[in-house]
Chain A
Amino acid sequence: MHRISWIIVTLVFLSATWAIAKDQPKFKSIEVKHFPNAEGVELPPEFSDYLYAELRSTLQKKKLAEQFVGEDEVVDAADALNSVILEGSVLEYKKGSVVKESLIGFGAGARSLRAHVKLTRRGNKEVIVDKEIKVRAMARWDPKTLAKFLANSIAGELKHSD
């Protein structure tokens, strides 16, 4: 009986420790920069600001950092080593086609966006994430949906980065 109670206490302690470790932010601070559009990318003018806002909001919700620094804000030297800068650019945007989507289906004619994302450590300029991400949405949906999907994909990448 005494042994079982000890096992239960140990399990509770371990699960609590695991939960605390899981909730701890990965970085001290994240600075999100605006994603400029590559040449030839025609997105609505408000898309860039919306993507910036959505990225900040999603990263905050996922608790990836203790602080969310605005673009070009000063970071204390002591925090620089575990602080990161998230930057990128929109490489390609396809409006999609409602007709194709209705006639063919199976993802044909979908709206899509391809972006390059780079996560750099502030202190030693170490590149943590450097990859291209592609997101798709229905052609009928608002282009801003792509910003939401992209922000979620980036947050997922950051969460699983080393």
Chain B
Amino acid sequence: MQTRRLLCFALFPLLLAFSAAADEPKPTPDNTISIKLDYEIKPQSFPRPLKFFVDRVIDRSANPQPMRVLKERGGVFLDKQPTEIVQQALQETLQKSSLLASDAASADYVLTVYVFHFGLGSGLGTEYYGKVDLNVVVKDVKSGDTHEVTALGTSVQGAAVRKKNILKNIEANISEALESALRNFLRGTKLRDVVSPTEEKSSETPQARLDESHIGNFLYEGRPSYA
């Protein structure tokens, strides 16, 4: 009697674990999506020719299953790791714009990309919302200085009920979010500020030019005080 009771206690958690595992969706060709960039991203033009090298792409999402983007409705999975997708997309974009260096030694800047979010954000009802959040550490090879550049890409597609449409919308969402994030990084003023130091930057407004020339300070100091 005692042994039977013990056996029941031992088997109960095992049964629970098995039933939970049975509910877990598995990747199949029908529920797997492939993320590709639909449109070419044109990076900003830099004052001098530059070369970037993508050193590493590191997952910082703290997601135990980074390839699973949706658990409900039989699950939706990515065909590759998010880090691999980001690395490939970034390298392709830099390559097309002739900004990719063949190795770290020949590059002007070495990029280390941290992926903070890749996939779906919490959307509204049946509407899916794609979000790609990156943090890129840009290292100047010559000086060794590092700077962080954040990039965010989002996308909201229409609501979907049928599985086929859910897959289509999620794929479009994540692709568009990735594209926006990469564009945000490559066309961002943060990257411009990192790669072109302040003295090289041409000021856009007359006030900024005045501030840079320090004439304003001189005038201010020279002005009599009425206080």
A residues in contact (CB < 8 Å) with B: 46, 49-50, 52-54, 56-57, 69-74, 142, 144-145, 147-148
Contacts and interface: CB of A to CB of B under 8 A. Distances in A.
A142 B122 CA distance: 11
Contacts of B44: 74
B124 A142 contact: yes
B98 to A, nearest CB: 18
30 contacts: A46-B121, A46-B122, A49-B121, A49-B152, A49-B154, A50-B121, A53-B129, A53-B154, A54-B156, A56-B156, A57-B155, A57-B156, A69-B187, A70-B153, A70-B180, A70-B183, A70-B187, A70-B188, A71-B184, A72-B190, A73-B183, A73-B188, A73-B189, A74-B44, A74-B187, A74-B188, A74-B189, A142-B125, A144-B122, A144-B123
Interface residues of B, number: 22
B68 interface: no
Contacts of B129: 50, 53
B224 to A, nearest CB: 31
**7 residue pairs, one from A and one from B, having the closest CB atoms:** A53-B154, A70-B184, A57-B156, A73-B187, A144-B124, A74-B44, A72-B189
Nearest to A148: B124
Interface in B122-146: 122-125, 129, 131
Nearest to A44: B122
B192 interface: yes
A69 B122 CA distance: 23
